[in-house]
Structure 1
């Protein structure tokens, strides 16, 4: 029987994939997709769009690296990543409502709407692959 802090092989593979995705996405915030990510920053955010993109990129890389290497805190990092995905969701909604194109592929209302449905998938992926969901369920027993 595995301990609450252990994860299955499949969870580890998907955790590593998510970590790599986060590191890459964070890097792209700081480099080649910097302007495109600014389309996701809602106009009501009281900071410069470029600063928000830079800061969110740094956070994404930090969370990705932590998810990849910080085994003892994996559950907490899974929750932190899920919360991060929730916090950035208003930006995705704003991009849809404001009809802002980005990344070449997000150039229609339909594409931007479909993208919104991937955010819950990312949240579930973070919670499952890190073992956070199972740890929470086990804490209720």
Structure 2
């Protein structure tokens, strides 16, 4: 059993992680709508427009809007954070095929201009999923 001070420290770490995740999502979403938009279109898998019925630009815009919405919801809806965390984790899983496509094709995107960076990005997906779930768990679930 963890001491009260240990629980307090863990609560602070979890809270900081939650706010960092919200900021990451909003920042990534804004980049999808602005300076990174063209670069992100390059890495959308060729099959994605056929599956979604959207062109590559619309997919980039939709993913950016989703990231902003998820990050904003995380910051503003405290009673729904656990559900939002699962939605974020699901989003991270949903975009993983695009990351694989980018790595396989060697296409550059903002901050992912080398094969090594693209490969490392693949291995970051699981920690992102875990981060979303861990930082948003309710006290009763712990």
**TM-score normalised according to structure 1 size:** 0.85
Q: CA deviation at 1:37?
A: 1.2
Partner secondary structure for residue 110 of structure 1? helix
> Which position in structure 2 is the counterpart of 1:4?
none
Q: Which structure carries more relative contact order (alpha carbon 8 Å, separation 6+)? A: 1
Q: CA deviation at 1:51?
A: 0.2
Aligned match for 2:98, one of 80, 91, 95: 91
State the Cα RMSD in Å: 2.1
Partner secondary structure for residue 80 of structure 1? helix
> Which position in structure 1 is the counterpart of 2:81?
74
Q: Which runs of 5+ in 1 are unaligned?
A: 2-6
Higher helix share: 2
Within 1, Cα distance between the matches of 2:123 and 2:93?
Answer: 12
> Which position in structure 2 is the counterpart of 1:113?
119
CA-to-aligned-CA distance 1:39-58 (integer Å, 9 cap, x gap) = 23110012211000000000
**TM-score normalised according to structure 2 size:** 0.85
Question: Where in structure 2 are the equivalents of 1:1-141 lying within 5 Å?
Answer: 8-45=11-48, 46=50, 47-103=54-110, 105-131=111-137, 135=141
